[in-house]
Amino acid sequence: METNAYNQKLNRYVLNDRIVYTGFSSFKDAEECAQKKGGTLVEVSFKDGNDNPQITDEAGLIEKKLHYYVYAGDEYKFIHSSDPGFRKYADELQKIKARNDKTSPDERYFANFEIENAEDPIIILKNDHFESVTSRERSKYMKHACVYELGVSLVKS
Per-residue b/e over 53-91, b at no fewer than 16 CB within 10 Å? beeeeebebbeeebbbbbbbeeebbbbbbebeebeebbe
The pLDDT of residue 31 is 96
The pLDDT of residue 111 is 45
The pLDDT of residue 146 is 94
Are the CB atoms for 89 and 106 separated by under 8 Å? no
The pLDDT of residue 119 is 65
d(CA 51, CA 14): 12
Mean confidence (pLDDT) of the chain: 83
Q: If you average pLDDT over residues 23-34, what whole number do you get?
A: 94
Are the CB atoms for 29 and 152 separated by under 8 Å? no
Which of 27-41, 61-75, 91-105 is least confident? 91-105
The pLDDT of residue 116 is 46
The pLDDT of residue 112 is 42
Q: If you average pLDDT over residues 51-66, what whole number do you get?
A: 94
Q: Which residue has the higher pLDDT, 7 or 103?
A: 7
Is 74 a residue whose pLDDT tops 90? yes
Question: Is pTM, for the whole model, over 0.75?
Answer: yes
d(CA 148, CA 47): 9
